[in-house]
């Protein structure tokens, strides 16, 4: 969670710095951060060093994700971006699903250090290819002038508020109870900090880090909310479903990681196909409606999965939410960009990435809180287990080991039933949240995706990022 936190909070800053220094230097800096973080983590000999390495790696990873999407926006006209964001979405989905499998395999077969070392060849290749191949027509104004105008106060308020809000979400119910002051006080401070940040950026900042004008249309606000929900749902699914196979079906961590493959069978192809259809038709509204509807239906069906549901039945049920969540990858970000003005595009893209990552962070936390409360209530219905309700209703990862190591066969079966029923409630909550986005998506406006082709290269306040000319240079 440390890496996820650092990845989230610095994404808007990377978008702003790319407007000051240009895309290529900031991409290279993000790659260096990721490389240094991987090396520090892989060579660490104690927990503090490992956490420092993970934090550095998270900063770089967040920058890489944000800048890839910004560069696509620079190079590709709006009408054609859907197919590229579909490919990016499919890669993010594949990486999120395969990552835990590779991590489990490295830990079991080689060493946990290879979870970090395996990144080094890819980062090295990127550090060579980016300077050679990346050609973005982007001419920033005076670096000195923009650094003087940079929103340092807003950046400080935003980063500290986000950290204060997200950090207790990672330890709530794990290190400290949710009702503990150690959890509630940082949450309240973070919420107050967000309010202060918004007031400062509206009334005091000369050049705000996040211009509030990017939220100026209903479509933009609905799409940003959708990015949060999308991250929330997909990470709940990818994080918690393997625990079902470990605790209830008693699979090994590697096989539990393999259990995510059915999601990939629909998520990655649907993201690619949807992106191409958006490009071909110039319409994204129907894709958004379909994505939310199918995702909500799929999560609703997963809430019917019980302890005695067959593995084959689970596989078929996992296909449906994967299909819907894949469709939403290109749909949501195209809607964000279509509702933004050309000068707002870099920060709009960065904020879409931020809100998706923010949703992932709160998804694990809220899913964990729902699981713990439901697990405790379920265990209390079994007289033989009731006295252990508090111990057996910890976070889902710890309870896996309790269930698997239970010596009494009858008690183990009761625990497995309680565990699967608790996860059913998590899926039901996801279904409800997705249903809210499905309702709100009815108010999404369909903008003309051909306007960039008609108007020529898109300009920004800081420089020029231009459609087809820069795309030709990149070839």
**CATH code of the domain in which 5 resides:** 1.20.1250.20
Q: Are residues 43 and 173 in the same domain?
A: no
Whether 356 maps to a domain, the answer reads yes
Structural domain includes residue 124 = yes
Residues 196 and 277 in one domain: no
Q: Are residues 144 and 159 in the same domain?
A: no
> What's the number of domains the chain is made of?
2
Same domain assignment for residues 158 and 217 = no
Whether residues 40 and 168 share a domain: the answer is no
Do 263 and 224 lie in one domain? The reply is yes
- pLDDT at site 472: 37
Q: Please tell me whether residues 199 and 314 are part of one structural domain.
A: no
159 and 216 both lie in a single domain: no
Looking at the fold, whether 240 and 323 belong to one and the same domain comes out as yes
Answer whether residue 464 is part of any domain: no
Question: In this predicted model, what pLDDT tens digit does every residue of 181-223 receive, in sequence order?
Answer: 888 898 999 999 999 999 998 888 878 888 888 888 899 999 9
Do 134 and 180 belong to one domain? no
Residue 458 is assigned to a structural domain of this protein = no
Is 469 contained in some domain?
Answer: no
Domain-located, residue 462: no
Would 451 be classed as within a structural domain? no
pLDDT of residue 328: 93
CA 212, 213, 218: angle at the middle one, nearest 5? Answer: 105
Mean pLDDT (10-residue bins), the chain, 475 residues: 76 85 88 92 87 89 89 86 87 76 72 84 90 72 72 90 85 73 89 93 85 88 94 90 89 81 87 92 91 95 90 90 92 90 84 90 85 88 84 80 85 90 93 94 87 42 38 37
Q: Are residues 371 and 297 in the same domain?
A: yes
Q: What per-residue confidence (pLDDT) applies to 173?
A: 65
pLDDT of residue 475: 35
Q: Residue 137 has what pLDDT?
A: 60
pLDDT of residue 470: 38
pLDDT, tens digit (0-9, with 9 covering 90-100), for 384-422: 888 888 878 777 888 888 888 888 888 889 899 999 999
> Is residue 215 domain-shared with residue 188, that is, in the same domain?
no
Domain coverage including residue 172? 151-206
371 belongs to a structural domain: yes
């Amino acid at each position: 969670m440390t890496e996820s936190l650092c990845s989230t909070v610095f994404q808007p800053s990377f978008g702003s710095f790319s407007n000051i220094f240009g895309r290529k230097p900031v991409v290279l800096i993000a790659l260096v951060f990721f490389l240094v973080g991987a090396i520090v983590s892989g060579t660490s000999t104690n927990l503090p060093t490992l956490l420092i390495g993970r934090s550095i790696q998270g900063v770089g990873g967040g920058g890489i994700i944000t800048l890839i999407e910004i560069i696509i926006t620079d190079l590709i006209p709006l009408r054609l971006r859907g197919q590229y964001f579909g490919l990016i979405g499919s890669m993010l989905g594949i990486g999120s699903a395969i990552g835990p499998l590779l991590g489990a395999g490295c830990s079991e077969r080689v060493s946990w250090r290879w979870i970090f070392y395996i990144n080094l060849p890819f980062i090295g290749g990127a550090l060579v290819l980016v300077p050679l191949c990346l050609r973005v027509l982007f001419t920033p104004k005076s670096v000195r002038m923009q650094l003087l105008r940079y929103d340092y106060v807003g950046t400080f308020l935003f980063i500290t508020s986000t950290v204060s809000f997200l950090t207790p979400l990672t330890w709530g119910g794990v290190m400290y109870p949710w009702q503990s002051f150690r959890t509630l006080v940082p949450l309240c401070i973070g919420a107050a900090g967000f309010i202060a940040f918004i007031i400062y950026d509206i009334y005091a900042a000369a050049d705000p880090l996040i211009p509030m004008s990017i939220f100026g249309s209903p479509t933009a606000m609905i799409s940003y909310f959708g990015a949060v929900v999308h991250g929330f749902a997909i990470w709940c699914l990818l994080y918690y479903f393997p625990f079902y196979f470990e605790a209830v079906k008693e699979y090994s961590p590697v096989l539990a990681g393999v259990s995510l493959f059915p999601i990939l069978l629909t998520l990655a192809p649907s993201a690619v196909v949807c992106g191409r259809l958006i490009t071909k038709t110039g319409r994204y509204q129907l894709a958004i409606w379909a994505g939310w509807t199918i995702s909500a239906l799929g999560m609703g069906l997963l809430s019917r999965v019980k302890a005695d549901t067959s593995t084959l039945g689970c596989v078929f049920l996992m296909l449906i939410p994967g299909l819907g969540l894949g469709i939403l990858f290109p749909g949501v970000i195209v809607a964000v960009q279509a509702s933004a003005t050309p000068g707002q595009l870099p920060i709009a893209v960065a904020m879409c990435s931020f809100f998706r990552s923010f949703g992932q962070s709160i998804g694990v936390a809220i899913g964990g809180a729902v699981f713990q409360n439901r697990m405790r209530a379920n265990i209390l219905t079994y007289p033989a287990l009731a006295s252990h309700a508090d111990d057996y209703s910890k976070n889902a990862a710890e309870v896996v080991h309790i269930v698997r190591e239970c010596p009494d066969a009858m008690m183990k079966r009761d625990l497995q039933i309680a565990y699967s029923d608790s996860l059913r409630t998590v899926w039901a909550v996801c279904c409800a949240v997705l249903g809210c986005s499905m309702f709100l998506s009815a108010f999404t406006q369909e903008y003309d995706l051909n306007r960039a082709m008609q108007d020529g290269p898109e300009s920004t306040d800081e420089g020029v990022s231009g459609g087809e000319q820069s795309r030709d240079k990149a070839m």
